[in-house]
Structure 1
Amino acid sequence: MAEHQNLDWLRDRLRASLYAEANDPSELIEWLQDRRKEVPFSAHLIALRDVANWRQDDDGNIHNVSGQFFRIEGVRVQSAPGLREIAGWDQPIFTQTDGGVLALLSRETRDRGVEFLLQAKADPGNIGYLQFCPTIQSTWENIRGLKGARRAPFAECLDPSDNIRLIYRSKHNEEGSRFWQKSNENMILFVEDASALTIDDRTYRWASLSQIKQMMLLDNVVGPYVRTVVAPL
């Protein structure tokens, strides 16, 4: 269920922070470029038959042998005349039982005002591999901690706590042309005492809303999910 009882409060804090917040994102961009050079990460396309631990079932659907993660199935579409480019079509589509979480942690300091904790996340399809993403960008499976997988960092911040103030949460449909009825839960969480967090500065950086907006004007620096999370601000 959508909640936004503290959204106006954070908007007020953002207005009060205008005098203090950083506007120039140059240092963040330079840091990201350095990390792209330093982080050992590579990806290249291979034949689908060679993908390890993924199989086709008797219906031709593709799934992981563990039964976890997404599946690739088929969908048949019939559309009212004029609603889409053609009246009907078949296509592959991603299906997944669980949705995801896209959460930004925020804080306020006297010297820098309100800031948001961005994650430099590597994904194989990214141009430049590393892009700034929400603090938590994960499926619920990874938040719960899959067998053999590292639990998503800061997942504990999703639990009720005196140190965490929920600013807003709402579910948004993943791209419907590629995903079957999947939604992600967007949220912003305000951390009352950010010193209580353990932050790996090789992966995470604090940024003001002005810096985030400036970086959105650049190519392939800020991932699309950050844009959707900060949109209500």
Structure 2
Amino acid sequence: MSLNLGYSIRSRPDGRLTERIVRSMLADDWPAEFWAWFTERSAQTTHHVERASLDELPGWSRDPGTGDYGHHSGKFFRVTGIDVTIPGAPVPRWSQPIIVQPEIGILGILVKEFDGVLHCLMQAKFEPGNANGLQLSPTVQATRSNFQRVHRGKAVPYLDYFRDCARHRVLADVLQSEQGAWFYQKCNRNMIVEVDEDVPVGENFRWLTFGQLHQLLGVANLINMDARTVLSCLPFTGLDRHPLSDAPEDDFHLALTRSCSGAEGSLHAMPEILSWITGIRAQSEVRAKVVPLAGMPHWHRTGGRISHESGLFFDVIGVDVTTGSREVSGWSQPMIEPCGNGIVAFVVRRIDGVLHALVHARVEPGYVNVVELAPTVQCTPENLRVLPPQARPRYLDVVLNAPAERVRYSVALSEEGGRFLNAINTYVIVEADVDDDADYRWMPLHQLADLLKHSNYLNVQARSLVACLQSLSAPSVAAKVRR
């Protein structure tokens, strides 16, 4: 006996959803109307970010005992210190400032079908750390303090679709980590929710297909980190044979589309991958203890900021912000400003005709579970000047010296602009025939997508690269972003 409860939309199998996603990926006409809208929003959005002393930020204060910086409400976040010990690591012990923000925020993209094609409601959003002022963000990008209106500002638009989604279809909903080097055990809820009803569209919002978003992932500093991490959670691997593999542009594109299908196999079975991750987590001796900022070795508070004595790594600074496009018109806050731009790269390889990415089991002090899968290379090369030679990433030279024809993707993308000022990494996908070792494994996209259904397996940089790899599966996108 079967029951019809009136929820037929929920009964679509994963394959049907994947077909709908692929149809939206193929709707990849260059969004000229988007650029007219985005240019107009940029011209209309007033904002100003001015550096300020940490000790003179309205609403923030320095604890006289610990030296930590916190908001007067006790909400938002605080800047404190962390002491890290990893026996046997290239740098076995260090201390640094870190952001503690125990709140779980919501990063959500609303999707809806128009003429049979899925569209995403994206937001042109200003954040004080954004490289270009406005960037394209999810429909909702808000901390708990934001949606509880601790700032006494306007309500977050579209939030109810994600806080009460029982009436809608949830395509993805998973807790994912933030930067483990700068946040202590920070997670956000990554959500994709499909609606059937009419949705009013605010002036800072725009419907775009997945194909158009993939086109825009080839534009520097446009699609923000929060949008990329949500897009990576898209369930795009639910078919035994990916429809785009029927019309490959070239052998690389065929290997990439085959990588999306579990039926095509993988170098390592998933139980083997899970055992490898669990073994490294169990064997990693990592002691990370939150400590006061005051008196931390090698870090100094001078000129209204906190800096490392080498002048490298990052500074903790203050900013005063004014804007006409946010829930409040102005505020002040501490931010992390990295010293130099980074490189974040997947080395990829075709194995039996299936594209695999080389992932790194990486330890960072802020991770909840000690280790997460990271890109093959994730570093700021400038910082290596003051680190031991063993700290140099194993495959960095493979990425830096890759022939142009083997570089499949290379775009400068910003990290989270709400806490980090001008944090920019060049995201790279390089094809190379290299061997792995104990801390690395080759994995196809369908295995990475399976892990993204669960929390704390892929770090935020790897999730961005998964979104970039997704974008290359449409031939017209691959041709435009290839360098």
2:149 alignment partner, one of 145, 148, 156 = 145
Q: Which structure 2 residues correspond to residues 158-169 of structure 1 after superposition, within 5 A?
A: 158=162, 159-162=164-167, 164-169=168-173
Higher relative contact order structure (alpha carbons within 8 Å, sequence separation ≥ 6): 1
Q: Who is 1:63 aligned against?
A: 70
Change (3 A) 1:103 1:74: same
Deviation at 1:18?
5.7
Distance (Å, rounded) in 2 between the aligned partners of 1:165 and 1:127: 34
Distance (Å, rounded) in 2 between the aligned partners of 1:30 and 1:189: 27
Change (3 A) 1:87 1:156: same
Q: Who is 1:11 aligned against?
A: 18
Q: Who is 2:201 aligned against?
A: 199
Three-state SS of the structure 1 residue aligned to 2:35 is helix
Q: Which structure 2 residues correspond to residues 160-179 of structure 1 after superposition, within 5 A?
A: 160-162=165-167, 164-179=168-183
Paired AA for residue 221 in structure 1: L
Paired AA for residue 86 in structure 2: S
Deviation at 1:88?
1.0
Paired AA for residue 79 in structure 1: I
Paired AA for residue 143 in structure 1: F
- Asked whether 1:223 is paired with 2:230, we answer no
Q: Who is 1:108 aligned against?
A: 113
Distance (Å, rounded) in 1 between the aligned partners of 2:129 and 2:72: 22
Deviation at 1:75?
0.3
Q: Which runs of 5+ in 1 are unaligned?
A: none
Paired AA for residue 51 in structure 1: L
- Asked whether 1:180 is paired with 2:187, we answer no
1:92 alignment partner, one of 93, 97, 103 = 97
Q: Who is 1:190 aligned against?
A: 194
Distance (Å, rounded) in 1 between the aligned partners of 2:80 and 2:40: 39
2:122 alignment partner, one of 109, 114, 118 = 118
Distance (Å, rounded) in 2 between the aligned partners of 1:13 and 1:218: 25
Q: Who is 2:371 aligned against?
A: none
Paired AA for residue 92 in structure 1: P
**How many residue pairs were aligned?**
222
Change (3 A) 1:6 1:143: farther
Deviation at 1:5?
8.9
Deviation at 1:189?
0.2
Q: Who is 1:52 aligned against?
A: 58
Paired AA for residue 27 in structure 1: E
Three-state SS of the structure 2 residue aligned to 1:115 is strand
Q: Deviations over 1:144-188 (max 9, x none)?
A: 3336122211111020342x2111111111101000001111010
C-alpha RMSD of matched pairs (Å): 2.1
Change (3 A) 1:121 1:14: same
Paired AA for residue 76 in structure 1: D
TM-score normalised to structure 1 length: 0.88
Deviation at 1:6?
7.1
Paired AA for residue 76 in structure 2: F
Deviation at 1:94?
0.4
Q: Which runs of 5+ in 2 are unaligned?
A: 1-9, 237-483
